[in-house]
Amino acid sequence: MNNLFPDFNGLKQEKLTNTDQLLTVIPLLKNNKQENSRILLLKIHNKIRSAIFTIYPEKDNSGSEFSGRVIISNLNGEFVNGFRVDNGYIISNFTKKNNNNSTYKTIDLEEVIIPVRLKASKANTAFIFPGDSPGSSLDDYTWNPDYLNGGGGNGGDTKPNDIAKDPCSAAKTTSVDAKSISYSSAKTSIIKASNDGLEHSITLGKDNNGQITQAPMNDGGAYNVPVNSTWPGAFAALHNHPNKTPLSAGDIYTSVKLNIKSGTFTTTYILTDGEVYGIVVTDLAAAKEFVATYPADQLPGQSPEFPDYILDQMLDLVNKMGSSNEGRTTAIAFVLDKHNSGITLLKQDSSGNFQSIKTQETTQANGTKTYTSIPCN
């Protein structure tokens, strides 16, 4: 398990049907849009059983529900079970052709067609933890993972969010976009215009050929600026903070609003004090839940602020992480991750690449908490 990089901040317990028992689900930090894994833990016969549940979406996963492969392995990566899903239904099983202990990626698998299709979201837990039926049989207990219940789009007339939920993959995508001429031009234009002490904003879009385009600049005030959300193919916007302040709660809440309005509008870049930070909505459903649970405190004539419950946690961490823009942003990122906000914060490095701001909290034997940056590989 040492090489799995579990994301303990994303730990959830999900209800199994026909029982009061909960399945513990821990995502992995290395997840991306091609391969997404979770560690599953379940108490069976007073013993904690474990498995790794990995999904591989089809490249064209545009149906109303998930299509692709699901592979079950143990914590050592050894193949246990697997099945293929077509638009939400299990259509075949995978089995090993030999009995060696290699991982499923390096052995031959045999695919057996299932005559009667089964709903993937109703897969019984015996499929995941075979041979451990507790008397009444695990066949009676089913797990309904929401990421197998609608892998095809986000509804409406907007295109699905193509930013991967994995923060490291999102950072890579953002880094590629930042290498474009349009991004560089927009950044230069905003920096030049910021000499007036006001905020300025430029939206980036993508044309039908996937080329990044640049909207005309919007001018704002000292603490706010309108964002052009109707530019064709809009997916990101850059704006500056003339007073050299870090990204704000208002930036966070506005980013979620923009993504709700348009499924492709996932990214906000903030230029401040010679640095560039990024806000990426990597999981819109989680982000919507976060802003609904912790709505912004909004006073007339002032920028939105986090509610006291979130703000107090962030300020407490600033004492440990520092009051610089990077320290405050790191504190905000940790709190957002702690509450499974579906929002990833990034910082652009000296080479022009964006790095995700992820931090691991460790409690020492004496109760002291330390914080360590988690780099992307």
- Span 294-313, pLDDT tens digits: 999 877 767 789 999 999 99
Distance of alpha carbon 289 from alpha carbon 15, whole angstroms? 19
329: helix, strand or coil: helix
Task: Pick 367 or 282 by higher pLDDT.
Answer: 282
Res 183 pLDDT > 80 = yes
Distance of alpha carbon 288 from alpha carbon 234, whole angstroms? 20
**Which residue shows structure tokens 């905020």?**
199
pLDDT at 213: 95
pLDDT (average), residues 60-78: 78
**343-356 pLDDT per residue, tens:** 999 999 999 999 99
Is residue 332 within a helix (H) or strand (E), and if so which, with residue range?
A: helix 325-338
Res 322 pLDDT > 50 = yes
Q: What is the dihedral of CA 123, 129, 130, 134, to 10 degrees?
A: -100
Does the pTM of the predicted model rise above 0.75? no
Could you give the percent of the chain with pLDDT greater than 90?
45
pLDDT (average), residues 188-210: 93
Res 148 pLDDT > 90 = no
Q: Are 261 and 253 in contact (CB under 8 A)?
A: no
Reading phi first (left if > 0) and then psi (alpha if -120 to 50, else beta), residue 197 is in: left
- Least confident range of 69-78, 98-107, 248-257: 98-107
Res 121 pLDDT > 80 = no
CATH 3.40.140 domain locations along the chain: 167-373
pLDDT (average), residues 313-329: 93
- Tokens representing residue 6 in the block: 């579990």
Q: Quick one: how many helices (H) and strands (E) in the chain?
A: 6, 18
Rg (CA), the chain: 23
pLDDT at 57: 85
Q: What's the chain's length in residues?
A: 377
Res 339 pLDDT > 80 = yes
Res 141 pLDDT > 90 = no
pLDDT at 33: 75
pLDDT (average), residues 158-180: 74
Res 182 pLDDT > 60 = yes
Distance of alpha carbon 246 from alpha carbon 255, whole angstroms? 15
CATH of domain 167-373: 3.40.140
- Tokens representing residue 222 in the block: 């000292």
